[in-house]
Amino acid sequence: MQNRMELSFSAISSNESFARVTVAAFIAQIDPTMEEITEIKTVVSEAVTNSIIHGYHNQSEGKVYITASIENECLELIIRDEGMGITDLEEARQPLYTTKPELERSGMGFTIMENFCDEMKVVSEPMLGTSIFLKKQLSTKKAIYN
């Protein structure tokens, strides 16, 4: 059976940990491992932070949209903004590439998301916004007790 949730919230940085916990609470239902939940929280943080600081330039107008669905222990996440978008996607996804070098962990957001998930797709349109599609297979308890 599929379970689904949709969330949107004001694009302010104090909502980052709210977004992270919301996704974590949603997948907590299938009781993943700590490692899996830590990875997912990191991925959500990276994507949401990108939307807030790059997509909306920290302007606090605008919203961030998250869709999560779980089916057969597979998590599908979409994190979307209606911000400024990315002109050169290939360049943006390079490790260490950043347009805001003053930030921590500069340029590693996309690399982290890609590494912690099984699939990542980025769709972006200048002036319209950016969507990140992520898939991650979670371990089941059954698999562990085998």
Ligand X SMILES: Nc1ncnc2c1ncn2[C@@H]1O[C@H](COP(=O)(O)OP(=O)(O)O)[C@@H](O)[C@H]1O
Residues belonging to the active site: 46, 50, 105
Q: Which is nearer to its own copies, 16 or 46 (CB)?
A: 16
DSSP state of 106: T
Helix (H) or strand (E) holding 7: strand 3-10
User: Which residues neighbour 65 within 8 Å (Cβ) at sequence distance 6 or greater?
Assistant: 6, 7, 8, 78, 79, 80, 81
**Interface with its own copies, residue 5, by CB under 8 A:** yes
CA dist 46 and 98 (Å) reads 13
Minimum distance from residue 42 beta carbon to other proteins (Å): 5
Rounded CA-CA distance 128/83 in Å is 6
112 scored as a contact of other proteins (CB under 8 A): yes
Token output for 112: 């982290």
Q: Which of 19, 20, 36, 50 binds Mg ion (CB under 5 A)?
A: 50
13 lies in the binding site for ligand X (CB under 6 A): no
Q: Which does 97 bind (CB under 5 to 8 A by kind): ligand X, its own copies, other proteins, none?
A: ligand X
Applying CB under 8 A, the residues found at the interface with its own copies are 1-10, 12, 14-15, 17-18, 21-22, 25-26, 28-29, 60
